[in-house]
Structure 1
Amino acid sequence: MKRLLPFFLCFGILVFWSSCREDFEFRPSTGNLVFERDTVFLDTVFNNIGSSTFNLKIFNRSDEDIVIPTIQLERGVSSFYRMNVDGSTGLEGDQEGKFFEDVELLANDSLFIFIETTIDISTLPTLENEFLYTDRILFDSGSEQQDVDLVTLVRDAIFIFSQRDNTTGLRETLTFDVDGDGNPDETTLEGRFLEDNELTFTNEKPYVIYGYAGVGSGQTLTIEAGARVHFHADSGIIVTDNASLQINGEISNDPEALENEVIFEGDRLEPLFSDIPGQWGTIWLFNGSINNTINYATIKNGTIGILAEGNDSGPTDKLTITNSQIYNFSAFGILGRATSIRGENVVINNIGQSSFAGTLGGRYNFTHSTIANYWDTSFREFPALLLNDFVQIDATTIATNPLLEANFINCIVYGNDNPEFILDQQGDVFNFKFTNCLLRFDNNNLEGTQNFMFDDITFYEGNIFNEDPEFRDPFENGLQIDETSAANGLANPLFSLQVPFDILGISRTTSPDSGAYESIIFSDDD
């Protein structure tokens, strides 16, 4: 019995103390809520595309438990915003996500409001294809009312998407001659071929592509200067047999705005997604496509920037790419397979595997290009530059194809790994040459590597190895060089005459620099 006394004594004290506590009663709020910010900017969204989820934290700094009588959107059920308050969607029906009653908040505690929006711009007046949509979150009413502003910039756009089958729920897939036997093949790639009136992309409105937009046989997709092309997840462009892609960007006056360049990126416009790889698929120049040209384009944030296949022995190059930048891809910047690519003033960086990979032989000629890789998100298996002449069929079988030529002249091939170029030969024909390039390949730090005949001018002439190019900010794709760079004055002027201006339009002098950029004097802000 003596052992039970302490228990009953403590229990009695606890019951008495609990019955005397008045602060378990929630009192109405008195307009003293504290907000982490007075405006929630939901950044920029496209018409009818949902935003990311944004949050707002609300604090009760008082020593009393309170109840907020109402939390609601000022526009009510007509608002394009929707909310979730600490896991609750509020009242049911058309007020769900719009109206909440008697929200409890403990003393010196906080709660989260999660906010999203999907806006139909067709119901709103627009100015220059943009509209600033606003609303307010109202807390309580009358003299106790407090509010937080909501602001979203909405862009109108031209949407290209495949149709959905109402019975199966699946979207249509592309059908075209994949194997070159003259018969169309069904693929699993969601998308559709562009209509004749869709074969010119202008700069009047952005384009948003769902699935793959196909360029049919004999057709040409022309993309004009200043156009903006956005891709949803697993989307891209496919250029099929005897079709062409012509990207006609121009040099911009503002190197930040890039007003005249053609820009390819994902369809999430929030700053969080501005440099995230893997948001979309690829620009696929399919086997048999011809006369593809890209000038002044910025291509970023997908899986493979450009995938070019076939046409390695034709009279003209399958792809000519000039004055263009390719950044932030989870696999490859440019991946060539038995193809022919010519590049001038090309910049590639921050790629999950190789920035440029010329595989299964072919023809590749690059002048005054910067092929870098400062990827630091995950392990990278391949170097910035990869050349080979084979494909692995199975565990014991490989197929080879001649590397007819691979010339890199006045280029920089560098990165945060060693080596940053690999030449992997299996067949009999493997022709390559590096001329007046700054290269990263340090044999002294690599066990078991071959010599690569660095002293043989048949393959290497006028190069510098393993000297830091002193890029401005390579991890943020700043690949300009200053006057202290090892690439300064390295270029062969005879080849510079073919590319007389750098990617920014700066004239190459009698002592030109290797890479896509002429050197400048960095300011204190760089």
Structure 2
Amino acid sequence: MKRLLSLLLCFGILLFWSSCRNDFEFTPSKGNLGFAQDTIYLDTVFTNIGSSTYNLKVYNRSDDDIVIPTIQFENGVNSRYRMNIDGTTGLEGAQEGKFFEDVELLAKDSLFIFIETTINISTLGALENQFLYTDKILFDSGNNQQDVDVVTLVKDAVFIYPSKDDTTGIVETLSFDVDGDGTPDETTLEGRFLADDELTFTNEKPYVIYGYAGVGAGKILTMEAGARVHFHADSGIIVTNNGSLNINGTLSPDQETLENEVILEGDRLEPLYEDIPGQWGTIWLYNGSENNTINYATIKNATIGILSEGNQDAPSDKLTIRNSQIYNVSSFGILGRATSISAENLVINNAGQSSFAATYGGKYNVTHSTIANYWNSSFRQYPALLINDYVLDENNTVFTNVLIEANFNNCIIYGNDNPEFLLENEGDEFNFKFTNCLLRFNNNELSGSGNYDFEDESFYLGNVFNEQPYFENTSENMMRIGDDSGANGIGLSTFAAQVPYDILDKNRTASPDAGAYQSVVFDED
């Protein structure tokens, strides 16, 4: 009986206490909201491409539970922005995402507003290729009104994309001669061939590519100095039989930066995506393409920077690449398969597998280049430089192809793994040579025998091993070398005479350093 009375007494006290609570008595906001920031900057977007979602945190620092009568955009239903408040989209219909009423906010609590946009620059009356679009988020009205600015830079662009069937939703795919029998083959590669009037990329507007932009037989795709090319996910460029790619970037007038270079990267412009690998596919120099040249280009954030296949015996190299950089690729910086590549003043860093892979034989001549790999996002299977003369089919059958030559002259081959080059041959003819290079190879089990007999001057001559290159900042892909670098002064003048200026047009003939850059004295922080 006493227990029952005690329980009833406790229940009565709880009931009385709860009836006195005023937790759910909200008072109108008095214009004293706090904001995590006074301006929301939505990073640059292309016209008609949706932005990332940004957030604004709103605080009620008072001791009262409040209700905010209205939250809306200043431009109302005509605003190009959309918002979501703690999971709700506001009033239905035209006002959805634009106007909210009676938003409750407890004492000492906060809420999140999520903002995004999709803007068609042509509807803004913009006369230039970019337009700064602004609006405000208004909280309450009258004397209690507070506001937060919202700002976005919108860029116009040239969009290249395959057609899509409105009924079936099937996207156009490329057809070209895959097996070399002279007849087109239907592929599963989404994309289309560039029309004749699309074969010159200028610096007037950026280009945004969906799917693969194809260069057809006998056609030449030219990219002029300063061109900017952006690829959507799983997109790229494919150069097919008898087609060519010519990238013609230049050094900036101050000879310190590469502002007039051609940049090829993903189509997400937000800083979050600036260095994320694997955002797009590759530049695919298909078997049969010819006379491809790249000068002063930066290729970044791809799956494979350049994939060059076949034509190892072509009269001129299938790919000639100079004064160019390849960074932040999820697989290979350059992947060659039974092909021919000539490279000068080439810089590669941060690849999920190899920075430069010369596979299934072929012909490669690389001079005054920096082949580095300081990848730290995951385990990588291969070193910075991989050279082999074979492939395996699905049954693990080995097929070999002669390595005609693989010459690396006055180069740096280094990284955060050891060793940083691997030479694997299954065939009898495997021709390679390293001359006056800085190499990372410190493996007692392999050194001194087979392909790693460093005393055999037929394959190794004048090299320096395992001395620090002292790059400026590998995590930021700043690959200049300091004045105390192990690469300083080790270059052979014969090759320096062939490539007398480094990637920043600094003369190297007097005392050539290995790699793409002549050394500098870094500023002390």
Under a length normalisation based on structure 2, what TM-score does the superposition of the two structures give?
A: 0.98
* Fraction of identical pairs, as percent: 72
Q: Distance in 2 between matches of 1:6 and 1:25?
A: 32
- Are residues 1:392 and 2:392 paired? yes
- Are residues 1:487 and 2:509 paired? no
What per-residue deviation string (whole Å, max 9, x for no partner) do you get for residues 307-332 of structure 1? 00000111110000000000000000
- Are residues 1:265 and 2:265 paired? yes
Matches within 5 A, 1:100-115: 100-115=100-115
Shift of 1:449: 8.6
Q: Is the 8 A contact 1:275 1:301 kept in 2?
A: yes
What per-residue deviation string (whole Å, max 9, x for no partner) do you get for residues 176-225 of structure 1? 11111111111111110000000000001000001100000110001100
SS at match of 2:326: strand
1:147 maps to 147
Letter in 2 for 1:347: V
SS at match of 1:12: helix
Q: Is the 8 A contact 1:443 1:449 kept in 2?
A: no
2:425 maps to 425
Q: Distance in 2 between matches of 1:228 and 1:254?
A: 20
Matches within 5 A, 1:64-213: 64-213=64-213
Residues 396 and 199 from structure 1, CA distance in 2 versus in 1: closer, same or farther, beyond 3 angstroms?
closer
Q: Is the 8 A contact 2:497 2:509 kept in 1?
A: no
- Are residues 1:214 and 2:214 paired? yes
Residues 139 and 324 from structure 1, CA distance in 2 versus in 1: closer, same or farther, beyond 3 angstroms?
same
Q: Is the 8 A contact 2:414 2:439 kept in 1?
A: yes
- Are residues 1:330 and 2:330 paired? yes
1:370 maps to 370
Letter in 2 for 1:521: V
Larger CA deviation: 386-395 vs 402-411? 386-395
Matches within 5 A, 1:238-249: 238-249=238-249
Q: Is the 8 A contact 1:443 1:451 kept in 2?
A: no
Shift of 1:510: 1.9
Q: Is the 8 A contact 2:225 2:261 kept in 1?
A: yes
Structure 1: state its 5+ residue gaps. none
- Are residues 1:477 and 2:477 paired? yes
1:58 maps to 58
Residues 230 and 451 from structure 1, CA distance in 2 versus in 1: closer, same or farther, beyond 3 angstroms?
closer
Q: Distance in 1 between matches of 2:352 and 2:253?
A: 31
Letter in 1 for 2:178: V
- Are residues 1:439 and 2:439 paired? yes
Residues matched between the structures, number: 525
Q: Is the 8 A contact 1:83 1:113 kept in 2?
A: yes
2:32 maps to 32
SS at match of 1:18: helix
What per-residue deviation string (whole Å, max 9, x for no partner) do you get for residues 422-457 of structure 1? 001011111000000000010238799966111000
SS at match of 1:354: coil
Q: Distance in 2 between matches of 1:500 and 1:126?
A: 46
Q: Is the 8 A contact 1:125 1:131 kept in 2?
A: no
Shift of 1:295: 0.1
Q: Distance in 1 between matches of 2:62 and 2:409?
A: 70
Letter in 2 for 1:47: T
Matches within 5 A, 1:435-474: 435-444=435-444, 452-474=452-474
Residues 254 and 53 from structure 1, CA distance in 2 versus in 1: closer, same or farther, beyond 3 angstroms?
farther
Q: Distance in 1 between matches of 2:505 and 2:90?
A: 57
Shift of 1:4: 2.4
Matches within 5 A, 1:500-515: 500-515=500-515
Q: Distance in 1 between matches of 2:449 and 2:509?
A: 38
Q: Distance in 2 between matches of 1:160 and 1:378?
A: 33
Shift of 1:43: 1.1
